[in-house]
Chain A
Amino acid sequence: MAHAYTPKQTHAEVTRDIVATLGTPSRGYVMMLAGAVGLFLVGAVTFVMLLKNGLGLAGYNPPVMWSVYITTFVFWVGIGHAGTLISAILFLFRSQWRTAVYRATEAMTVFAVMTAGLFPIIHIGRQWVFYWLLPYPNQRYLWPNFKSPLLWDVFAISTYLTVSTTFLVVGLVPDIAAVRDKVSGWRKKLYAACSLGWTGSDNQWRHYTRGYLYLAALATPLVLSVHSVVSWDFAMSIIPGWHGTIFAPYFVAGAIYSGIGMVFTLLIPLRKLLRVEHMITDYHFDNLAKLTLFTGSILFYAYLMEYFVAWYSGNTFEQMTFWRRAFGPMWWAGWSMIICNAFVSQLLWFRKIRTNLTALFVISVFINIGMWFERYVIIVSSLSNDYDPWAWGQMNPTWADWGILAGSFGWFGMYFLLFARTFPIVAIQEIKETIPMPRKRGGH
């Protein structure tokens, strides 16, 4: 049953408990960070090899010239969608339960989009000229083609990274000031510099709350537009399996679904490592699981519609593409996507599963795997079998594909873990806003 969420702590306890997460790291945290750095190094070495030897190391094979790197790009952009949904859209809906989880999801968004942004650059091969994507005055008087969805994507992803980072930083300022007032020595100086002179005066709150509201209002259409634009990278072409009007809502629902999946994967262990189990509770996971069920069901419907429309259209190329997704050489990937996303999400109809954190963690791993495969299936299966059978071809990922994929998890995990130790991972100010202040005339 939906009800107003009120934490049980006092204001002082909230500050104390969240500032305590920034203390000496536990052994579990150090091991996780070491694992993330290790994975990142795998990716870094692979990237150096790519720079030295070229993209031939990866599994590109005509006509499949978009494969693991673009798959992983879309995967990470998708992960970045849950954060803004929870921080901006649920803020506008006045959902109080978001306060405990939104900071972690917002940080996840920023680092996921940072990770995603690397992939088109890796994919283009000559990474040192990536700036050719931008409209800047040059000696050849050339401008980019603004009619191309690939250029829309450059603008969409850059805007999303800038706005979500701004949103995260703005939300952090009052919390950094609260930490500043609780620590000493060099840490006090560091947090004082980062708090930008914040004191929580009525004048600051007056402009801050309005500004935050407008940022949320701007971020809401942005989050819905970004994955729509990413979907148009595919839907604007005439490749069978890509050319569908369903793509924008299908991609947005999938992005939010995958993002919340990653929230479970990150927060379930992290709340234990940082000892904030009393702040991020079963109640929050239950609500997040309901969102997962909702978006997972939209995805289930989209999968059904894709197959239905392929059959109903009478278009033989479309029918062949979807037949091959289920029974062709990539059947294992096609069924992984359907089972992990459409079927596994339906387990969340049961409250016992929604409040069982072990079950949720396992489901979240399935979601992550399923959503990566969804993009792999969409990209690789459509490209490998388009109109002319003589031009068909398969691709097999190589160590260079897997190395960069592993490195991206390390790159993302490293930033997320460092953030969780450096800044309040639970929003101090917003939690306090939900706790009534004591009254001299009794009650709250």
Chain B
Amino acid sequence: MATMTAGVLASFIHIDAATDAIRALKAQGHKDLTVYSAAPNHEIEEALDHPVSPVRLFTLVGGATGCAAGFAMTIWMSNNWPLLVGGKPIASVPPYVVIAFELTILLGALSTVLGVILLSAAKSRKRIPYDEKFSDDQIGVFVPCRADQAAAIEALFRQAGSVEVKHAA
């Protein structure tokens, strides 16, 4: 099991206190912050200023693959066992649009979920301190740092309005 990342973990009740602390830490050059919240919050997003998630690429690739697979499967299977009925085309594209549409949605949705899991797991491999209050009503901010930086960061958190500060070694 991976060892716990060393750093300082602060808890906040007030949203503006948490965002003040995040902005102050970023101004000091701390980039690898982890912010916990029970629900997504636009003020936290603005303070962190992350780029847009690349999960949309998974959606696009999955959807396009589903669409292509839908047409390819139906056209190939029709031609693989050709049944000529009333002189109509063996492979007729309009009815296959339904199958292609369903597979676009199916693979688009499944690859979106896969994208969320892979992208979230990429960072979650590091063990970062967590508190159960963060899924309830508090906001958590964790800063990885060396032992000699911890006191200054704790002071910053206290000044911003943190209700609790813990050190992880």
A429 to B74: give the CA distance in the assembly, Å: 42
Query: A200: nearest residue on chain B (CB-CB)?
Result: B36
Given contacts A166-B110, A181-B132, A219-B109, contact A210 B63 (CB under 8 A): no
- B149 within 8 Å of A (CB atoms): no
Query: B63: nearest residue on chain A (CB-CB)?
Result: A218
A200 to B141: give the CA distance in the assembly, Å: 11
The one of A144, A156, A166, A429 that contacts B38, using a Cβ cutoff of 8 Å = A429
Given contacts A143-B77, A218-B112, A437-B15, contact A178 B48 (CB under 8 A): no
Given contacts A135-B77, A214-B59, A433-B39, contact A182 B136 (CB under 8 A): yes
Smallest CB–CB gap between A86 and chain B, Å? 18
A67 to B55: give the CA distance in the assembly, Å: 45
Q: Is B53 a contact partner of A200 (Cβ separation < 8 A)?
A: no
Stretch from B23-31, B117-125, B150-158 contacting the other chain: B117-125
Query: B116: nearest residue on chain A (CB-CB)?
Result: A211
A151 to B102: give the CA distance in the assembly, Å: 12
A429 to B63: give the CA distance in the assembly, Å: 28
The B contact surface, by secondary structure, is: helix
- A155 within 8 Å of B (CB atoms): yes
User: Which B residues touch A229, using CB under 8 A?
Assistant: 98
- A28 within 8 Å of B (CB atoms): no
User: Which B residues touch A203, using CB under 8 A?
Assistant: 34, 119-120, 123-124
A15 to B39: give the CA distance in the assembly, Å: 12
Q: How many residues of B contact A (CB 8 A)?
A: 62
A203 to B119: give the CA distance in the assembly, Å: 8
Query: A199: nearest residue on chain B (CB-CB)?
Result: B130
User: Which A residues touch B102, using CB under 8 A?
Assistant: 152, 155-156, 158-159, 222, 225
The one of B38, B77, B105 that contacts A146, using a Cβ cutoff of 8 Å = B77
Q: Is A207 a contact partner of B120 (Cβ separation < 8 A)?
A: yes
CB contact list, B49-67 vs A, under 8 A: 50, 52-53, 55-56, 59, 63
Query: A146: nearest residue on chain B (CB-CB)?
Result: B74
Q: Is B105 a contact partner of A222 (Cβ separation < 8 A)?
A: yes
Q: Is B38 a contact partner of A438 (Cβ separation < 8 A)?
A: no
Smallest CB–CB gap between B7 and chain A, Å? 14
Q: Is B38 a contact partner of A432 (Cβ separation < 8 A)?
A: yes
- In the complex, per-residue mask of A191-212: 1 if CB is within 8 Å of any chain B CB, else 0: 0000011011111111111110
Q: Is B109 a contact partner of A218 (Cβ separation < 8 A)?
A: yes
The one of B77, B95, B106 that contacts A152, using a Cβ cutoff of 8 Å = B95
Query: B37: nearest residue on chain A (CB-CB)?
Result: A200
Q: Is B81 a contact partner of A142 (Cβ separation < 8 A)?
A: yes
Query: B76: nearest residue on chain A (CB-CB)?
Result: A143
- A235 within 8 Å of B (CB atoms): no
Q: Is A162 a contact partner of B110 (Cβ separation < 8 A)?
A: yes
The one of B34, B110, B136 that contacts A202, using a Cβ cutoff of 8 Å = B34
User: Which B residues touch A438, using CB under 8 A?
Assistant: 13-15
A275 to B106: give the CA distance in the assembly, Å: 37
Given contacts A197-B124, A199-B36, A229-B98, contact A439 B15 (CB under 8 A): yes
Given contacts A10-B137, A166-B109, A225-B101, contact A439 B14 (CB under 8 A): yes
- A123 within 8 Å of B (CB atoms): no
User: Which B residues touch A428, using CB under 8 A?
Assistant: 38
A437 to B110: give the CA distance in the assembly, Å: 33
Smallest CB–CB gap between B35 and chain A, Å? 4
User: Which A residues touch B3, using CB under 8 A?
Assistant: none
CB contact list, A240-283 vs B, under 8 A: none
A135 to B102: give the CA distance in the assembly, Å: 15
User: Which A residues touch B136, using CB under 8 A?
Assistant: 11-12, 15, 178, 181-182
User: Which B residues touch A221, using CB under 8 A?
Assistant: 101, 105
- A147 within 8 Å of B (CB atoms): yes
- B144 within 8 Å of A (CB atoms): no
Query: B120: nearest residue on chain A (CB-CB)?
Result: A204
A428 to B40: give the CA distance in the assembly, Å: 12
A10 to B139: give the CA distance in the assembly, Å: 14
User: Which A residues touch B80, using CB under 8 A?
Assistant: 141, 143
A201 to B113: give the CA distance in the assembly, Å: 17
Binding site for A on B (CB under 8 A): 13-17, 33-41, 44-45, 48, 50, 52-53, 55-56, 59, 63, 73-74, 77-78, 80-81, 92, 95-96, 98-99, 101-103, 105-106, 108-110, 112-113, 115-117, 119-121, 123-124, 128, 130, 132, 134-137, 139, 161
10 A-B residue pairs with CB within 8 Å: A141-B81, A152-B102, A158-B102, A159-B106, A162-B106, A207-B55, A208-B120, A211-B115, A215-B109, A429-B38
Binding site for B on A (CB under 8 A): 10-12, 15, 135, 141-144, 146-147, 151-152, 155-156, 158-159, 162-163, 166-167, 170, 174, 177-178, 180-182, 196-197, 199-211, 214-215, 218-219, 221-222, 225, 229, 428-430, 432-433, 437-441
Query: When A and B form their complex, which 3 residue pairs have the shortest distance between CB atoms, in order from nearest?
Result: A181-B132, A11-B137, A211-B116
**20 new A-B pairs (CB below 8 Å) besides A200-B134, A209-B40?**
A15-B135, A144-B77, A146-B74, A146-B78, A155-B103, A162-B110, A163-B106, A170-B116, A174-B39, A197-B124, A199-B124, A201-B36, A203-B124, A208-B116, A210-B55, A211-B55, A221-B105, A432-B38, A432-B39, A437-B41
